[in-house]
Chain A
Amino acid sequence: MSAIAKALPRLRPEEMEDPKEHLMHDPMPRGDMNTMVLDSMHTATWKYWTVVTILAFIVVTCLGYAWYYLIMQGLGVSGDDRPVYWGVFLVNFVYWIGISHSGTLTSAILRVLKIESRRPFTRVAELMTAFAIVNAGLSVFMHMGRVWLAYWMIPYPNERTIWPDFHSPLMWDFMAITTYLICSSLYLFLPLIPDLAMVRDRSKGWVKTFYKILAIGFRGTEGEWKNLHLAMNIFAFAIIPVAFSVHTIVAWDFAMAIRPGWSSSVFGPYFVSGALLSGVAAVPIVLFLVRSTMKNMKYFLRPEHFDTVGKMLLIISMIWAYFYFNDYIVSWYGGDKWEKILNLFVQTGPQWWLWYLMLFCNIVVPWSILWRKKWRQTPWLMALVGILINVGMYTERYIIVPEMLTINRMPFTWHSYIPRVEIILTIGTFALFLLLYFAASRILPLIPAWEVQEGQEGHILRKIGKARIPTISEID
Chain B
Amino acid sequence: MANDLNSPVKMNMSQDAQGKWGMVIDQDLCTGCQACVAACSMENNVPFVGEVDAGYGRNMQWIRIERFWSGSFPDIKMTSYQPVMCQQCHKAPCEPVCPVYASVHSESEDLNLQVYNRCIGTRYCANNCPYQARTFNWRDYQDARQRPELVTLQNHLNPDVTVRRRGVMEKCTFCIQRIRHTEDTAESENREIRDGEVVPACAQACPASAITFGRIDDPTTQVSQAAVTSRAGHLLEDLGTIPHVTYLAGGA
Q: Which residues of A contact B (CB under 8 A)?
A: 73-76, 80-83, 85-86, 143-147, 149-150, 152-153, 162-165, 167-171, 174, 253, 256-259, 405, 408-413, 415
Binary contact track B149-191/A, C-beta < 8 Å → 1, others 0 = 0000000000000000011110000000000000000000000
Contact residues in B for A171 (Cβ distance below 8 Å) = 99
**Would you call B130 and A165 a contact (CB within 8 A)?**
no
* Choice from B118, B132, B236 contacting A413 with Cβ under 8 Å: B132
Q: Closest CB-CB distance, B87 to chain A, in whole Å?
A: 11
Contacting A75 at CB < 8 Å: which of B99, B127, B138? B138
Chain A residues in 8 Å Cβ range of B136: 75, 80, 82, 85, 145
Interface: B109 (CB within 8 A): no
Residues of chain B at interface, number, CB under 8 A: 43
Are A145 and B137 neighbours in the complex by a CB distance under 8 Å?
A: yes
**Residue from A145, A165, A168 within 8 A of B166 (CB atoms):** A145
Of B53, B59, B101, B122, which is in contact with the most chain A CB atoms at under 10 Å from its CB?
B122
Q: State in angstroms the CA–CA spacing of A413 and B130 once bound together.
A: 11
- In the complex formed, the residue of A with least CB distance to B167 is A145
Cβ of A238 to closest chain B Cβ, rounded Å: 27
Closest Cβ–Cβ distance, residue B15 to chain A (whole Å): 27
CB distance from A460 to the nearest CB of B (A): 56
Contact of A409 (CB < 8 Å), options: B53, B98, B138, B236: B236
Q: Evaluate contact between A85 and B166: CB separation under 8 angstroms.
A: no
- Residues 92 to 146 of chain B near chain A (Cβ within 8 Å): 93, 96-101, 118-124, 126-128, 130-132, 135-140
Q: A152 and B120: CB pair below 8 A? A: yes
Q: A74-B138, A82-B59, A410-B130 are in contact. Are A145 and B99 (CB under 8 A)?
A: no
Apart from A168-B99, A410-B84, what are 13 other A-B pairs with CB-CB below 8 Å?
A75-B167, A80-B123, A82-B135, A86-B123, A145-B119, A145-B137, A152-B118, A165-B98, A165-B100, A165-B101, A412-B66, A412-B68, A415-B56
**Contacts of A412 on B, CB cut-off 8 Å?**
64, 66-68, 82, 84
Q: Please report the C-alpha to C-alpha distance between residue A415 and residue B59 in the assembled complex, in whole angstroms.
A: 12
A-B contacts, 13 listed (Cβ < 8 Å):
A80-B123, A81-B138, A145-B167, A145-B168, A145-B169, A152-B118, A163-B101, A164-B100, A164-B101, A167-B97, A170-B97, A170-B99, A408-B132
Partner of B123, one of A85, A152, A409: A85
Give Cα A405–Cα B136 distance, bound, in whole angstroms: 15
Say yes or no for B239: interface residue by CB 8 A criterion.
yes
Q: Given A81-B57, A145-B137, verify A168-B98 contact (CB < 8 Å).
A: yes
Give B residues with C-beta under 8 Å from A: 53, 56-59, 64, 66-68, 82, 84, 93, 96-101, 118-124, 126-128, 130-132, 135-140, 166-169, 236, 239
CB of B175 to closest CB in A, whole Å? 22
Known: A145-B166, A162-B118, A168-B98. A82 touches B128 (CB 8 A): no
Given A74-B137, A412-B64, are A145 and B123 also a contact pair (CB < 8 Å)? Answer: yes
Assess A257 versus B139: contact at CB under 8 Å? Given A75-B167, A81-B56, A150-B120.
no
Residues of A within 8 A of B239 (CB): 258, 409
With A73-B139, A146-B119, A162-B100 already in contact, the answer to whether A415 and B66 are too (CB < 8 A) is no
The contact of B120 among A86, A146, A256, by CB within 8 Å, is A146
Q: Are B167 and A86 in contact (CB under 8 A)?
A: no
CB contacts (< 8 Å) of A257 on chain B: these are: 93, 97, 124, 127-128
For residue B235, give the distance in angstroms from its CB to the closest CB of chain A.
8
A410: which B residues are within 8 A, CB to CB? 66, 84, 130-132
Name the CB-closest residue of A to B66. Answer: A412
Q: Which residue of B lies closest to A262 (CB)?
A: B127
A86 — which chain B residues lie within 8 A by C-beta? 123, 127
Given contacts A146-B119, A165-B101, contact A170 B124 (CB under 8 A): yes
In the bound assembly, the distance between CA atoms of A144 and B67 in angstroms comes to: 32
The residues of A that contact B128 with a CB separation of less than 8 Å are: 257-259
Instruction: Determine the distance from Cα of A64 to Cα of B105 in the docked complex, in whole angstroms.
Output: 39
